[in-house]
Amino acid sequence: GDSVTQMEGPVTLSEEAFLTINCTYTATGYPSLFWYVQYPGEGLQLLLKATKADDKGSNKGFEATYRKETTSFHLEKGSVQVSDSAVYFCALSEVGGNEKLTFGTGTRLTIIP
């Protein structure tokens, strides 16, 4: 079955540091890939997505590129801020799979000033 493996957390960085959160996936078809963010006490918000190989999703300074050859969708940001502190979830959705999302376990990110 489909699965998503995410970099274990928690991750603590200083403000303005470079961020990478690794995500790899296993899927039988050609999934769409997503990053969701969960701020403390809130639900999940879509951060970015990519629907086919070599697509780059980007939002709020975050980027992730759909790499079919390495089955990866790593999240990056060049300079993090304290307000980026949250839990980040990588997820995939199979085409024709009733849009069900398979999530990674989440990575808690804390940015210190």
Partner 1 sequence: SQTIHQWPATLVQPVGSPLSLECTVEGTSNPNLYWYRQAAGRGLQLLFYSVGIGQISSEVPQNLSASRPQDRQFILSSKKLLLSDSGFYLCAWSVQNNQPQHFGDGTRLSIL
Residues at the contact surface with partner 1, assessed by CB under 8 A: 32, 34, 36, 42-46, 49, 51, 89, 93, 95, 98-106
The CA distance from 95 to 29, in Å, is 8
| Closest distance of CB 14 from partner 1, Å | 25
**Would you say 17 or 46 has its CB closer to partner 1?**
46
The CA distance from 38 to 23, in Å, is 17
Q: How far is CA 58 from CA 47, 50, 55, 61, 97, in A?
A: 8, 9, 10, 7, 25
| Closest distance of CB 58 from partner 1, Å | 15
**Would you say 45 or 81 has its CB closer to partner 1?**
45
The CA distance from 35 to 7, in Å, is 13
User: If you ran DSSP here, which 8-state letter would residue 110 be given?
Assistant: E
**Would you say 15 or 42 has its CB closer to partner 1?**
42
| Closest distance of CB 106 from partner 1, Å | 5
